[in-house]
């Protein structure tokens, strides 16, 4: 069974929990791994991420807080920026307003991250699973319609329904135009890019890595 919850309010979990934050965390996270990062360490607190880099100077800092790149960070929470970065073999410390908050709330089950950039790979990974919870990250002040829209798309596709993905990306673009602080054009283009990668990130033992299941899909 595939359910849709609320990343900020749900208090029961599934065997596989899918975090969705289209603008921009769950678009950026697959891109970080796609660009060669060894793994990602998620932080809710900016200061703790900076302190980690002080102790581990080779760390790359990526993220934002309330839409703004923090001081000392190497990259914004920007899939467009990350697409041009060489992260080969690097450890990335990552923080964001919504995605890492939702991650911190989940208490059981596997945790994976999905967006348009890894849509088909996510569908392939969850469609045969018996217990899946899709978690739109939403926002501190309320719902995020782009996350809810994608969650419904992911559910329909995983259940085997035929859908017009371009209609969902078109609606997502419209949503961005109506957000007071929407994402910029370069990031929007990446947030709407379908199946850019087969990588499905998974949170395992405190690190976000390429899911072993998505490795199998990529090799197939």
Structure tokens at 9: 């309010």
The per-residue pLDDT string of the chain (220 residues; one tens digit each, 9 = 90 and over) reads 999 999 999 999 999 999 999 999 999 999 999 999 999 999 999 999 999 999 999 999 999 998 899 999 999 999 999 999 999 999 999 999 999 999 999 999 999 999 999 999 999 999 999 999 999 999 988 899 999 999 999 999 999 999 999 999 999 999 998 876 678 999 999 999 999 999 999 999 999 999 998 876 665 4
* Domains (range + CATH), the chain: 2-207 (3.90.1560.10)
pTM: 0.95
Structure tokens at 60: 């790359």
- Going from the C-alpha of 34 to that of each of 24, 57, 87, 106, 162, the distances in angstroms are 15, 22, 9, 25, 28
The CA distance from 212 to 220, in Å, is: 13
- Going from the C-alpha of 86 to that of each of 37, 60, 82, 98, 220, the distances in angstroms are 8, 11, 8, 25, 26
């Amino acid at each position: 069974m595939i359910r849709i919850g609320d990343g900020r309010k749900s208090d029961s979990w599934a065997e596989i929990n899918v975090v969705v934050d289209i603008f921009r965390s769950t678009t950026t996270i697959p891109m970080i791994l796609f660009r060669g990062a060894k793994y990602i360490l998620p932080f809710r607190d900016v200061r703790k991420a900076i302190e980690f880099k002080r102790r581990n100077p080779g760390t790359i800092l990526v993220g934002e807080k309330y839409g703004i790149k923090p001081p000392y960070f190497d990259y914004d929470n920007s899939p467009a920026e990350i697409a041009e970065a060489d992260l080969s073999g690097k450890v990335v410390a990552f923080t964001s307003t919504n995605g890492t908050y939702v991650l911190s709330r989940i208490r059981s089950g596997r945790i994976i991250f999905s967006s348009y950039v890894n849509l088909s790979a996510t569908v392939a990974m969850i469609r045969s699973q018996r217990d899946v919870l899709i978690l739109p990250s939403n926002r501190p002040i309320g719902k995020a319609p782009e996350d809810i829209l994608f969650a419904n798309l992911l559910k329909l596709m995983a259940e085997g329904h035929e859908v017009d993905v371009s209609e969902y990306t078109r609606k997502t673009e419209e949503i961005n135009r109506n957000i007071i602080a929407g994402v910029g054009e370069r990031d929007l283009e990446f947030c709407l890019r379908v199946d850019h990668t087969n990588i499905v990130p998974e949170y395992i033992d405190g690190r976000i890595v390429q899911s072993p299941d998505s490795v199998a899909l990529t090799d197939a």
